Amino acid sequence: MNIEVWQGDITELAVDVIVNAANETLLGGGGVDGAIHRAAGPGLLRECEQLPELRPGVRCPTGEVRATGGHDLPARHVFHTVGPVWRDGRHDEAALLANCYWQSLRLAEQMGLESIAFPAISCGVYGYPLHQAAVIAATETMTWQKSHARPSRIVLVAYNAAAFKIYQQALANAGPAP
C-alpha cells in the first residue's frame, strides 16, 4: 500500500499529476483552484478554455475529470475534477465525491502515470465535512490500490495540521484489521 498524507501546498509537489478541485466552468476560482492557476501560469487557463463545453458554462460535470498539462507547475499534468456542493448528505454527495477520486485514478492509470496527489476535494467553499470526505478519500484510494498497479504512489494533501490528523486517522481506520 502506498498512500501517504502530506501537509502543505499541492502546487509544490513534483508528481506526475496533481488534482484540482475545480468548478464546472474549469475557468478558475478561489481556494486550491486559484492557487493552481497562479502557480501554473496563464497557459493553464488558455488550455482549459479550449476544452469543449458540454452545455453553456459546463466543461466538466460534477464527479467527472478532465486532463490538462501542468504548464509552469512542477507536476507534469493537472486533472480538473468537480466535487459536489455539500447540501445535507442526501443529495448523492458521497457517490459524487467518490467518483472524483475513482475517475481521477482511472485516468491516471490510462495515461500510465505513477504518482498522483489529491487535495481535499469539496472541503473548502463547497462545504463537505472534512471527516466524512477523508473517509471517502481513504476508502477509494485504498480500494483502488488493492486491484491496480498504477498509480503506484497516491498522496493525500492536507492543507493544515488538523486535516493531516483527520486523513491519517481515516487511512488507519480504512486499513485491514490487525
How many residues touch ligand ADP under the rule CB under 6 A: the total is: 19
Q: Name residues whose C-beta falls within 8 Å of residue 151's C-beta, 6 or more positions apart in sequence.
A: 16, 17, 105, 108, 109, 113, 114, 115, 116
Q: How many CB atoms lie within 10 A of CB 45?
A: 15
Catalytic residue among 16, 33, 72, 92: 33
Cα–Cα dist 157/14, whole Å: 13
Cα–Cα dist 144/113, whole Å: 14
Among 3, 32, 166, 171, binds ligand ADP (CB under 6 A): 32
Among 15, 16, 17, 33, binds ligand ADP (CB under 6 A): 33
Nearer to ligand ADP, 150 or 156 (CB): 156
Contact between 10 and ligand ADP by CB under 6 A: the answer reads yes
Instruction: Single out the segment in contact with ligand ADP by CB under 6 A; choices: 8-16, 96-104, 141-149, 164-172.
Output: 8-16
Q: Tell me, residue by residue from 122 to 141, as one string, x for binding to ligand ADP by CB under 6 A and - for no binding.
A: xxxxx---------------
**Is 72 annotated as catalytic?**
no
Contact between 113 and ligand ADP by CB under 6 A: the answer reads no
Cα–Cα dist 81/103, whole Å: 9
Instruction: Single out the segment in contact with ligand ADP by CB under 6 A; choices: 27-35, 48-56, 71-79, 142-150.
Output: 27-35
Given a contact cutoff of 8 angstroms between Cβ atoms, the answer to whether 74 and 14 are in contact is: yes
Contacts (CB under 6 A) with ligand ADP, residues 39-78: none
**Least distance from C-beta 111 to ligand ADP, angstroms?**
22
**Least distance from C-beta 11 to ligand ADP, angstroms?**
6
CA-to-CA dists, residue 159 to 67, 111, 119, angstroms: 23, 27, 8
Given a contact cutoff of 8 angstroms between Cβ atoms, the answer to whether 27 and 89 are in contact is: no
Beta strands in 3-76, from DSSP E residues, in sequence order: 3-7, 17-21, 65-69
> Which of the residues are catalytic?
33
Binding-site ranges for ligand ADP (CB under 6 A): 9-11, 21, 31-33, 35, 83, 119-126, 157, 159
